[in-house]
Structure 1
Amino acid sequence: MASKHTAKTGGADEPVVRLKGVGKVYGNVRALEGIDLDVRPGKVTCVLGDNGAGKSTLIKIVSGLHQHDEGEYLVDGKPVRLNNPREALDLGIATVYQDLATVPLLPVWRNFFLGSELTKGPWPFRRLDIERMKRTTDEELSAMGIHLDNLEQPIGTLSGGQRQSVAIARAVHFGARVLILDEPTAALGVKQSGVVLKYIAAARERGLGVIFITHNPHHAYMVGDHFSVLRLGALEMNASREDVSLEELTNHMAGGAELAALKHELSQVRGVDVEELPEVVNTPGS
């Protein structure tokens, strides 16, 4: 089982993960350019952007799937070049993807320890320590405020929000200091999205630095402490919560310049009253 990471270097508010001018190029395509990002303990950093904005590339770099081509990637203040996700995990950086990497027909407790099963007894009579895995699963879920009636039920029978919550608790148990969540509310309804947002806040309260990848500014604003908006691989906005309103964040996410141009085009169309359309807000960094 992976060990839990408790030691931190630097002050309590020092970034665990910091990107400085990070860029990534695939052949002739520049996927990211000049990305600055700080992930601090007990803070939720929201990375927003439309499809093709560069969010997936950013996830791949931070999680160790791909290496950056430009700039610096620092963990605890030290430059790193990760070769694979295992190296990221060893540094306490865990990623929960949309597909969750679960086996739907296996029980909740088996999925919690999938790939890291606990065993007991001497070799060659070593066997699974089922009782300890069930007990640990129940304890860890309870510590996150997750209460399931039956840990034997197949995880595929849980709601989408519950499965996301189990995946978050699993990452916390196996030593995550930084938790990357890839569009966790994208395929969920309002109620189940609320469940996931609740456990994102719970992870923050336990001192984790959270990177919340989303295209939904309303979900981001509910739990976010810092907001980075990507557009075409570059930072469109980089602002703390106290410096940006939900209206400004939504406008920036939608692309204020594009909306202004669209409003101008619509003004040329008969039957469209542009005066009734929302005003475009000037946002930080625009």
Structure 2
Amino acid sequence: MTTGPAFELADISVHYGFLRALDGVSVSVAPGEVVALLGDNGAGKSTLLKVMSGAHRPTGGTIRVHGTEHAFRGPRDAAEAGVQMVYQDLALVDAMDIATNLSLGLEPVRRGVLGWLGFIDRKAMRADSQRELDALGVRTAPVTRPVEMLSGGQRQVVAIARAAARLGQGGVLLMDEPTAALGHEQTALVEDLIVRLAERGTAIVVVTHNLPLAESVAHRMVVLNRGRKVADVRTKDTDKDQVVSWITGASVQAGYEAQAQNV
């Protein structure tokens, strides 16, 4: 992993009138690093993820991708900067096969007149999709299989692979609850893919309630509580009880009480 951040949010705030959904949150992720973004419902995780993906403009703060400052006006701006998002609903087309879903919006066209008329080169599309899956070490199902015939874990892997294919090397991948409603074996598929993507240099932010997943794949854990960052620690330097105390606010409250006693 290189030392400079691939993705950096500095002092991000989001205000809705008097309500502060985010209050001065700073987060960074390096190439090849996995950061787990944790917190209870209403902690600000979803709002921060929307800021990261360009779906929401912050009230204040700065966003940098590989050191270059950006002001995302929408998800397309984020994608052009090298940031891809895998949503919880996956946004896959069930009736289409794996290859079509991986190439959606970027389908290769036939050469010559047929290409001018918009005819898709399905042979090339399937070959390209298989090549990308092979590069990721993914062995889910034949690329001709419709998504509706895949398991939940296989669908999640396809959605992640599609985002990774659009990133290339050194991009930033955001994931929203990638193992929600998945069983143990299906979760393992997703975990393995996250690790492989990190190994090839992808910077990854995972929003999850699954602490075992975070402990398994994340190099660092960032915890939000009521719109503020209350912890940013290497996974190997903490434990589940401490993380839970940050999520529930027990450690935060203890810190406030200690400060009050010292005043």
The one-letter code matched in structure 2 to 1:104 is D
2:252 and 2:35 map into 1 onto residues whose CA distance is 25
Report the equivalent of 1:33.
23
Task: Choose 225-234 or 152-161, whichever is displaced more.
Answer: 152-161
Alpha-carbon distance in structure 1 between the residues aligned to 2:141 and 2:103: 18
- TM-score when normalising by structure 1: 0.82
* Alignment-derived partner of residue 162 in structure 1: 154
CA separation in 2, counterparts of 1:175 and 1:258?
37
Partner of 1:199: 193
Of the candidates 188, 204, 220, which is equivalent to residue 210 of structure 1?
204
Is the CA contact 1:112–1:170 (under 8 Å) kept in the aligned structure 2? Answer: yes
CA deviation map 1:203-255 (0-9, x unaligned): 10111000011112221011111111111111121112232123322332233
Q: Distance in 1 between matches of 2:85 and 2:141?
A: 27
State the superposition RMSD in angstroms: 1.9
Q: Which amino acid aligns with 1:150?
A: P
- Using the TM superposition, give the Cα deviation of residue 175 of structure 1 relative to its aligned residue in structure 2, in angstroms: 1.9
Residue matched to 1:65: 55
Contact 2:225 2:246 in 1 (8 A): no
Which of the pair is proportionally richer in helix?
Answer: 2
Q: CA deviation at 1:259?
A: 10
State the one-letter code of the partner of 1:52.
G
Q: Aligned partners of 1:168, 1:183: CA distance in 2, in Å?
A: 12
User: CA separation in 2, counterparts of 1:72 and 1:149?
Assistant: 41
Corresponding pairs, count: 250
- Map 1:234-273 → 2, pairs under 5 A: 234-256=228-250
SS at match of 1:152: coil
Q: Which amino acid aligns with 1:255?
A: G
1:200 shift after superposition: 0.7
Q: What CA deviation, in whole Å up to 9, does each residue of 1:76-95 have, x standing for no partner?
A: 22221100111111111000
Aligned mates of 1:169, 1:18 — CA distance in 2: 23
Counterpart among 48, 51, 64 of residue 74 in structure 1: 64
Question: 1:119 touches 1:128 (CA, 8 Å); kept in 2?
Answer: yes
* Residue type at the aligned position of 1:68: P
* 2: CA distance, partners of 1:77 / 1:107: 38
Moved more, 194-203 or 121-130: 121-130
How far is the alpha carbon of 1:159 from its aligned partner?
1.2
Instruction: Tell me the residue number matched to 1:172.
Output: 164
Matched, 1:109 2:78: no
Between the aligned partners of 1:20 and 1:188, the Cα distance in structure 2 is 33
- Output the CA distance in 2 between the equivalents of 1:67 and 1:93: 15
Secondary structure in structure 1 of the residue aligned to 2:188? helix
Instruction: Tell me by how many angstroms 1:258 deviates.
Output: 9.0
The Cα shift of 1:154 comes to 1.2
Deviations 1:103-129 (A, max 9, x none): 111111111111221112235444101
Cross-structure match for 1:129: 121
Structure 1 residues 194 and 120: CA distance shift in structure 2, 3 A: same
The structure number with the bigger radius of gyration is 1
Q: Structure 1 vs Structure 2: percent identity of aligned residues?
A: 37
Deviates more, 1:13-22 or 1:147-156: 147-156
Aligned residue for 1:21, secondary structure, equals: strand
Q: 2:167 is paired with a residue of what secondary structure?
A: coil
The one-letter amino acid paired with 1:193 is: T
How far, CA to CA, are the matches of 1:23 and 1:220 in structure 2? 25
Please report how far the alpha carbon of residue 162 of structure 1 lies from its aligned counterpart in structure 2 after TM superposition: 1.0
Secondary structure at the aligned position of 2:15 is classed as strand
Equivalent pair of 2:7/2:66 in contact (CA under 8 Å):
yes
